[in-house]
Amino acid sequence: MENSHTEYSRKINYYETDQMGIVHHSNYIRFFEEARLDMMKKVGLDYRALEEMGIIIPVTFAECRYLVPLRFDDEVIIHTRMTKYDGIKMEVSYEVYKTDTGELCTTGKTGHCFLDNELKPIRMKRKYPELFSKLKGMLEVPKGFQEE
């Protein structure tokens, strides 16, 4: 997983479009969530299982840049990668491409933290060292960057 992304495919539904015939801006955040959950599951970190362990991962911020509008029935592929992780917080980036043309339509990122069921911060390295390592392994390290 290191230095790579996961891919999540979906088709745009009619109900996700607005009066202008394009995907309503709020739906991209939902698409990001679908892709993020898929990414986590693909590396063996199922959100449901994490929540059953008492770990919740709320969104702390969301950013989205709309480059090319998407319409009903468009098929897209979302490239998802973890770009920051320190055991307390993480950031995930997203790129949404049209499947048929490969055109980049949307970019974005979300920030997250790790909390227990009482909404208190969790230090993953201390409390869940195995999960910390698995998450650290998902981190995309920029080319030319050497970790100490």
Q: Is the pLDDT reported for residue 63 higher than 80?
A: yes
- Separation in Å, CA 69 to CA 30, 74, 101, 103, 108: 16, 10, 13, 11, 14
The pLDDT > 70 percentage for the chain reads 92
pLDDT digits (tens, 9 = 90+) for 23-36: 999 999 999 999 99
Catalytic annotation, pick one of 18, 46, 73, 116: 18
* 46 catalytically annotated: no
| Over residues 24-53, mean pLDDT | 96
- What pTM does this model have? 0.89
| Over residues 62-80, mean pLDDT | 98
The residues spanned by each domain of the chain are: 6-138
DSSP structure string for the chain = -TT--EEEEEE--GGGB-TTSBB-THHHHHHHHHHHHHHHHHTT--HHHHHHTT-B--EEEEEEEE-S--BTT-EEEEEEEEEEE-SSEEEEEEEEEETTT--EEEEEEEEEE-B-TTS-B--HHHH-HHHHHHHHHHBPPPTT----
| pLDDT at residue 140, as a whole number | 61
Domain boundaries 6-138, corresponding CATH code: 3.10.129.10
| Over residues 92-120, mean pLDDT | 98
